Amino acid sequence: MKNFLKLFGLIGCLQLIISSNLNWLTRSSLAATMPTTASAEHTPDPQPTLFIVGLTVGRRTVNSGVLVRGEVDDTESINFEDWLVPYNAILEALNFTSKVVEEDIVELRSPFKVVQLNLNDLQTDPELGLVLSVAQMRELFGILIEFDWREYAIVFQVPEVSNTRRTRRQDRPIILEGLPEVSAPNFNISGVQQEVNSTRIGENQINNRGQFSAVGTLFESSWFLRLNQRDFSESETWQLSELQFLKQTDGADYYLGSQPTFWRSQSGGEFWGFTTIQRRGYNPFPVLRNNGGANPQQRLQPESVTATITGQAKPGTVVQLVNNLQSGELLAEQVVDDSGVYRFNAVRVGRSFNNQYYVLLYPNGSLAAEPIIEEARFSVLLEQLPAGTSAWAVSAGWKRQLNFDEFWGDFTDFNAGVSSRWGLSEDLTVGLGAFYDLGMNGLAEIFYQPKGTPFIASISGILGEETDVDINLVWDGYPNLLASLSSDLEDTRYSLDWRVFPRLRLIANGTFGDLGSFGIQYFAGGSNYSTLARLNVDTEGDLSWNLNQQLGRLYLFHQGNKSSSLSDLSYRFTPSHYGVLNYRTLNSSMDNYLLSAFWRYRSPNRTYFGETLWQSELGYLLGSQGHGLYVNASTAILPGIALELRYEGISLTSEQSQFRLQLVSSLGLQQGIRPGDRQLERLRTAGGLSIQPFYDRNSNGKRDGNEEIYTDSSEFLILNNQLVEPWEIEVKGDRFLLPLPPATYRLDLEAAGFPPDFQPSTNSWAVEVVEGSFTPLMIPLQPSYTLAGVVTDSEGKPIAGARVEAFSSDGTSASLSITNTAGVYYLEQLREGTYQLKVNGDGAIEPHTITIDRSSETLLEFNLQQL
């Protein structure tokens, strides 16, 4: 039998070869050797026969000959849906990989499709083994399959997958040894900011309140100063609000000056003193864009924690979990089974400002289709530490009472505390401590979140003369149920958000034994409309309601209760221009109301931080107190300055006009005086890089007065082996600012981001970033020369495929090129100096050396001839 099959296979291969060259011979041979059921002259064969065909994907032949079971009549297939093709041949042809999911269940993956398959559903052919029918393949893979009699092959039409940006990335080690070091400044004043608010009081009196802030670096730490100015023009009214020195590292933090306490204070007032946090086994939460100053409680939290991400989708859907949709990093993937639920367990989720998590849903496992994108939902207990890690906090200082007429205030009561937290397991973190604040108190904490469940529990208690315990229990079963219960031993509060139907939710919140409310919420939306309506009733029977409606360019917002209401109707003529009608009421003895109609303009251009460059409103007010003009205008068009003016002829409750003028001016004092950034406080806890590439035309490594800054593109930075996205960089005049948490980073340059005739003299550094300032980095872009010409032999004929190489004076290869068919070569990115030229490793050429200096053209023509 085996010998017969071998002979049969050889005959079939011969038929395939003949068919690809002489179709008429193929047809006659097939007619002689293979029965068919399509012709009336032949008796149908009860068993389809074995024969050889090719397998083609698109126009590419991937298998020139494979045995299949089926029937064919000259140029037509018979019962093509029932043809049987070997399982392994299909996997190889369509580039499927197979992974065992469980017994008899495999997951098949190709660039265009992911499916799960039960091997028990496959047929077994006595000669072919496991097989798939054409009908099964069409159903499983969702592709077009046909028989091409001219090529005598089964043709698979596989969709192209254009979106290949989401790939798993392995973290490469960050090597700093041997790199040039760039240190942060030891002392500087990074920026100052002055804010002034002028408000009219009464008929003639103007109140000018102000606030002055400054930030900088001192010995690898940040310092921050804030003064409150009750009267900007009278320095005697100024008071010291904050003065803080801060040093943050992965292992420890140090605070000196004004700061919050890590315990709940009982004596009131401000705390001034010293605090240190010591961490073991984990990195802290990086505070990058924080405008609230340093927070010891936040720095006890880990940089990343594990979370469970879950949701619902139709069976067969491929679900991909990605981090940061723009960069497209694939973190995990899953095929939804018959339960209709996907779950990603123990996902390490970061909580820095640029970490966002999404799930991409590919229905029916088709990776060639556009995915449905949803924001990933997960519950994170911020205080939970990784298992086996710990942290200590120690603090001591005094409380300050700020009197009305004193600059420094009075330092009175002594406070001190010590606390520790331990990550006992992935689910449980506990803390113990003690502090002195108007007496000795004990401190205990428990943070519990069982992995794979939506349950979260946090308990913190103060044990002393007065016991104070806070209990918070949360069940975050998104999207169907979110429930919470909290208690401080005096009151117990609850909240409930239950999705009864996809568009309908029941909501409740309140305090047991006291006032509460119950409501219903409805939401529906489409590409050009949306409706959000909510109705609440409290335990006293009082109603409140909200309506938010959008229909094309028309927007309606309305809210109300038994004492007041607000209605806002606007129409968007363009993305920047709005017409607005606003009506407010206040139920009182006067039954006040105010109707305003105004035009609003918001410029589409914004600053890096999202501030609108221009905004203005102009309208008229009509109410129970009278009528008058309404004007509101603001601008951020001037670098470092924000200006806002507001005037109301009347208000809802008063007939007196109101006037307010706000001016915020910022100066940056690093590397000269320039317009500053109004997000000054972010430098309290973070720093960054200030990068200035410049054209170093004389190649001396220093910027001379006539050498301009290069700011055409910022797509040349690679930080810790990751490309820096343009949206992460601020372009501030003549420099690029890259905000970063304190650390030492590896910075590499992508040469393709610079002009072709100029290249950086150094490509990699180890750069230090500290709080309070931007570490300056000058990047000299020195002239880069290209040597081009034709290589010929001794008879003057061009040499194709020759290896042309330039060697510098120290013998190292500086540039390499392979000649094309015309013998042309290009040696690029050469610097000033003398080079020895070789062709195919042989220096016997004419000429064999060239000298490049600053007077040379950037493109040099230099023909070479072998001797």
Give the residue extent of every domain in the chain: 2-157, 304-375, 686-783, 785-866
Instruction: Summarize the confidence of residues 76-101 as an average pLDDT.
Output: 90
In this prediction, residue 353 has a pLDDT band, given cuts at 50, 70 and 90, of very low
In this prediction, residue 38 has a pLDDT band, given cuts at 50, 70 and 90, of very low
Phi and psi torsions of 576, nearest 5°: -110, -20
Residue 524 in tokens? 């529906």
Under 8 Å between Cβ of 107 and 101: yes
pLDDT tens readout for residues 655-679: 888 889 999 998 888 888 888 777 7
The separation between CA 321 and the C-alpha centre of its own chain, rounded to angstroms, equals: 13
pLDDT tens readout for residues 520-543: 999 988 778 899 999 999 988 899
Architecture in CATH for domain 686-783: Sandwich (2.60)
CA distance 319 to 343: 9
Q: Is the peptide bond before 286 cis (omega within 30 degrees of 0)?
A: no
pLDDT tens readout for residues 606-661: 776 567 889 999 999 999 888 999 999 999 888 788 899 999 988 888 888 888 99
What dotted CATH number matches 785-866?
Answer: 2.60.40.10
Under 8 Å between Cβ of 135 and 123: no
Choose among 56, 225, 87, 28: nearest CA to 157.
56
Q: Return the bridge partners of 510, or none.
A: 494, 516
Q: Is the pLDDT of residue 318 over 60?
A: yes
Q: 773 burial class (0-12, 13-18, 19+ CB within 10 angstroms)?
A: buried
Q: Is the peptide bond before 479 cis (omega within 30 degrees of 0)?
A: yes
Of the ranges 18-22, 94-98, 224-228, 620-624, which one carries the lowest mean pLDDT score? 18-22
Contacts of 541 (CB under 8 A, 6+ apart): none
Higher pLDDT, 773 or 46: 773
CA distance 318 to 329: 16
Radius of gyration of the chain (CA): 37
Q: Is the pLDDT of residue 848 over 60?
A: yes
CA distance 215 to 192: 7
150 CB neighbour count, 10 Å cutoff:
10
Instruction: Go through the chain and tell me how many residues it has.
Output: 867
Under 8 Å between Cβ of 695 and 734: no
What pLDDT was estimated at residue 15?
40
Instruction: State the DSSP code for 393.
Output: E
Alpha-helical (H) ranges within 2-93 are 2-21, 23-33, 87-93
pLDDT tens readout for residues 196-224: 999 987 677 788 999 999 999 998 899 99
Under 8 Å between Cβ of 255 and 275: yes
| Fold classification of 304-375 (topology level) | Immunoglobulin-like (2.60.40)
Which H or E run contains 139? helix 134-141
Under 8 Å between Cβ of 835 and 828: no
What pLDDT was estimated at residue 64?
84
What pLDDT was estimated at residue 732?
80
CA distance 437 to 361: 54
CA distance 450 to 456: 7
Alpha-helical (H) ranges within 57-189 are 87-93, 134-141
Same fold across 304-375 and 785-866: yes
DSSP string, 307-340: EEEEEE--TT-EEEEEESTTTTEEEEEEE--TT-
Longest Cα pair distance anywhere in the chain, in angstroms? Answer: 116
In this prediction, residue 494 has a pLDDT band, given cuts at 50, 70 and 90, of very high
